[in-house]
């Protein structure tokens, strides 16, 4: 739990540092100087690219925080050496979902054996393992996507998150080359980015609080 929160705080600090850099570069006549005294002015295109890149950092923060929150639950289950019947039903369903890929991808002649193998794992005395599987995270997280993840695991969902949809869309457009960095960054102002950042922080802060409350109340255990 402490590691989860510490990692989140570190990533938030990175975002704040980047905003500070953009603010400096966005000043009229901003320039960089090297050790030899050479000055380099910041062009309009460079400023646009930096602003658009902010969407990549924000999306990285969102997805990493959601995944790390779920991983912290897995770590607690592993640390307590819990078995299939020790965890709540929501998590049992997630565990079975994590095995679906191995069932779907195996040859037809091996389906029965594969399902039986997972069934034995579920009912025997071995400790439960989720690996790196996080249900509902597929590289396209919006606010509703985060809430769906919370619902799957029984975590208290977070409200609002109005900016996450546009962050996801802009991130995907950049990642897949559908739009250039200068196209996406051309209409952005530094104050707008600061406002977006603050709203995203509020949303994720609550998610972190909810995950930690989930862990503190042992909500992953079967009552």
Residue where the block lists tokens 């802060």: 205
83-140 pLDDT tens trace: 988 999 999 989 888 777 656 666 666 666 666 666 666 667 678 888 888 887 877 8
The pLDDT value recorded for residue 119 is: 66
| Sequence-separated contacts (24+) of 114-117 with Cβ below 8 Å | none
Domain range for residue 38? Answer: 2-88+131-216
Axis-axis angle for helices 2-25, 44-79 (nearest 10): 180
Whether residue 15 is contained in a domain is answered as yes
What secondary structure letter does DSSP report for 106?
Answer: S
Whether residue 93 is contained in a domain is answered as no
Mean pLDDT over the full length of the chain: 89
The pLDDT value recorded for residue 128 is: 82
What secondary structure letter does DSSP report for 43?
Answer: P
Whether residue 80 is contained in a domain is answered as yes
Q: What is the dihedral of CA 9, 11, 15, 20, to 10 degrees?
A: 70
Give the contacts of 164 (CB within 8 A, at least 6 positions apart): 62, 141, 142, 143, 145, 146, 200, 203
Whether residue 121 is contained in a domain is answered as no
Q: How many residues does the chain have?
A: 223
Give how many domains the chain has, as a whole number: 1
Q: Which two tokens stand for residue 61?
A: 């923060």
pTM to 2 decimal places = 0.88
Whether residue 149 is contained in a domain is answered as yes
Whether residue 118 is contained in a domain is answered as no
Whether residue 122 is contained in a domain is answered as no
7-47 pLDDT tens trace: 999 999 999 999 999 999 888 777 888 888 888 888 889 99
Residue where the block lists tokens 């078995």: 83
Whether residue 175 is contained in a domain is answered as yes
């Amino acid at each position: 739990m402490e590691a989860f929160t510490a990692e989140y705080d570190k990533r938030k600090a990175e975002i704040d540092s980047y905003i500070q850099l953009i603010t400096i570069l966005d000043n009229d006549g901003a320039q960089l100087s090297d050790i030899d005294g050479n000055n380099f002015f910041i062009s309009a295109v460079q400023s646009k690219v930096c602003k658009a890149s902010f969407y990549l950092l924000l999306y990285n923060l969102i997805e990493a925080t959601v995944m790390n929150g779920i991983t912290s639950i897995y770590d607690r289950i592993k640390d307590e050496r819990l078995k299939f019947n020790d965890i709540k039903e929501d998590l049992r369903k997630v565990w079975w979902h994590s095995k679906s890929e191995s069932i779907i991808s195996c040859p037809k002649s091996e389906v029965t054996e594969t399902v039986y193998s997972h069934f034995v794992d579920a009912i025997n005395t071995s400790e439960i393992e989720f690996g790196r599987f996080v249900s509902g995270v597929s590289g396209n997280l919006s606010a509703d996507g985060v809430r769906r993840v919370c619902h799957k695991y029984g975590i208290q969902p977070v409200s609002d998150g109005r900016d996450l949809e546009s962050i996801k869309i802009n991130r995907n457009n950049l990642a897949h080359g559908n739009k250039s960095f200068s196209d996406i960054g051309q209409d952005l102002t530094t104050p707008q980015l600061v406002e977006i950042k603050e709203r995203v922080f509020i949303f994720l802060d609550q998610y972190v609080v909810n995950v930690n409350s989930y862990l503190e109340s042992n909500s992953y255990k079967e009552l």
